[in-house]
A and B are shown apart, each in its own frame.
Chain A
Amino acid sequence: MKKVLLLGASGQIAPNIIPAMESHCDFTLADVKPYPDGRPIEHVDMRHYDQVLDAMQGMDAVMNFTVNRPDPILSFHVSTLGALHVMKAAAELGIKKVVHTGPQLVRSYYDQDFEITDVPRAPGTGYYGITKMLSYEICRTYARIYDIQTICFVFNGLGLEPSEPIKGEDFPPFRIFWKDLAHACCLALDIESVPDNYQEFNMVSMTAHQKYTMEKAKRILGYEPAERWENYYKRDV
């Protein structure tokens, strides 16, 4: 079982996928704030290289779910500098697998388009988008030079999968459910290599709009949603 450091373990995403992944990997959870149910975690501040390096010792892989969205200073120091610290430490320690995460930067630009795969990174100047975009470029560069297989999952919306029919509303265009994300993360940890050592993947659970495709994630990672979730959004006829 792979030893995996999960950075940002107490954030808005990780606690929702950890239970489904724990039979697949041996997690060490790390964050700067307590885990929701009080479970012990390691304190790792992404701004400090020595903390990141120490936490990564002995790991087979790292999953980086850290982010600071709105703060003019912390966003650069957590999202951008933090990504540099992770990739530097991976290079130094010989860790060959990193799962990085961040926003799909321009989802609404393409609301009138269809069959969309990878899109140019065009975040604009907002702190969340630009700092994560810079982190992607850092990851890509280190992945290329140090042969670190880096899978970058990009999100636009996440949530709990539906369990009963949802009436009177359409599903969001770019959403992944916890169950599917946990599965995708397991695939990312298992895959031996990705083209050019670095690939970004749209994380979506529903594609009936024919808008954002999951073709690349399917082709490279073998990802498929657990169910056809669109069926929960059926209109009665």
Chain B
Amino acid sequence: MNVLITGAESRLGQAIARELAPGNQLRLWGTGDPPSELGENITYFEGDMRDPDVAWHAVRNMQAIVHTGEPPPNLPEDDLACERELLDLATRGTHVLFKAGIDAGIKRFAYGSTLQIFEAYPDDVYISEMWRPMPSTDKFQLTRYLGEMTAREFARDFPVAVTVLRLGKLIAEEDASPQNPDLMWVDYRDAARAFRLSLNRDSQSELKWNRRFALHHICADIPNPKYLVGQISGFQLRGFQPQHNFETIWRGGGA
């Protein structure tokens, strides 16, 4: 499959590229210089996603789009300017990218949202995909959520499969500190695996929009979890089982 991966310079983007490299042709859309080593099946692309001409060139000949939703590295230092940029990228940028993908005939889209939109809930509830998001006004959190809402509407309007992955707090298991265990942790490699599995969804021909759209919470499988993964009927990401569950940290206790 020919797959476009946005946010390719981010650690998540790199993990997804490693996960998808075997057996796929990848176009990495990043910011700045390309990685020093690109495999034969990988090309690098750069440009502003909000420019429809740029987006069109990025999606040409692709069969799937993995839009990580990761913020770019060169955000303005000014707080307001940064927030405006994040909002514009998440909403208009996602819209331009997905619209270009629709025009190019792409049928599979994935978007990386965040589980942090449930942080406002107390820790004594089990958060499944059924709960209403309660984002804060934090610019990274709110804009990521608005990007999710933008992505969702494409499944409503077009015969395409759109998968939203609400990712926990990304971290490498080996970097996790036992002093501050987090109920929302997810390892980059498991998140990348979830993106790969999301591309297996073949639901673009479903008549009902809510079957073309899928929403999954992605975090580690820990004892006594607050954030449940795949426990609601219809919300399982087929084949997903986290491999990095921070067992040395959570062993013997829960939250």
Contacts and interface: CB of A to CB of B under 8 A. Distances in A.
Contacts of A122: 153, 156
Contact of B150 (A72, A84, A91, A134): A134
B149 A125 contact: no
Contacts of B157: 124-125
Contacts of B112: none
A141 B137 contact: yes
B76 to A, nearest CB: 13
Contact of B134 (A72, A125, A130, A144): A144
Contact of A80 (B91, B135, B137, B145): B91
Given A81-B84, A122-B156, A134-B150, A76 B92 contact: yes
A155 interface: no
Contact of B87 (A72, A81, A146): A81
A127 to B, nearest CB: 8
Interface in A68-87: 72-73, 76-77, 80-81, 84
Interface size class of B (residues with CB under 8 A): 20 to 34
B142 A133 contact: no
Given A122-B156, A138-B146, A49 B80 contact: yes
A146 B136 CA distance: 10
A137 interface: yes
B120 to A, nearest CB: 8
A77 B92 CA distance: 9
Contacts of A145: 136-137
Given A73-B92, A125-B153, A138 B142 contact: yes
B137 A137 contact: no
A77 B84 CA distance: 9
B95 interface: yes
B91 A125 contact: no
Interface in B148-187: 149-150, 153-154, 156-158
A65 interface: no
Interface residues of A, number: 24
Nearest to A91: B137
Nearest to B153: A125
Interface string A135-147: 0011001101110
Contacts of B150: 130, 134
Contact of B137 (A81, A124, A142): A142
A15 interface: no
A123 interface: yes
Contacts of A138: 142, 146
Q: Which of A131, A133, A141 has the most CB of B within 10 A?
A: A141
B99 interface: yes
Nearest to A80: B91
Contacts of B46: none
Contacts of B145: 137
B88 interface: yes
Contacts of B135: 141
Nearest to B142: A141
Interface in B96-133: 96, 98-99
B88 A76 contact: yes
A125 B209 CA distance: 13
Contacts of B84: 49, 81
Given A123-B153, A125-B99, A141-B142, A134 B91 contact: yes
B154 A125 contact: yes
Interface string A118-130: 0000111100001
Interface of B: 52, 80, 83-84, 87-88, 91-92, 95-96, 98-99, 134-137, 142, 145-146, 149-150, 153-154, 156-158
Interface of A: 49, 72-73, 76-77, 80-81, 84, 91, 122-125, 130-131, 133-134, 137-138, 141-142, 144-146
> Which 6 A-B pairs rank lowest in CB-CB distance, beginning with the nearest?
A76-B92, A124-B157, A125-B157, A125-B153, A134-B146, A141-B135
24 contacts: A49-B80, A73-B92, A76-B88, A77-B88, A80-B87, A80-B91, A80-B146, A81-B87, A122-B156, A124-B153, A124-B156, A125-B98, A125-B99, A125-B154, A125-B156, A125-B157, A130-B150, A130-B153, A131-B91, A133-B153, A134-B146, A134-B150, A145-B137, A146-B137
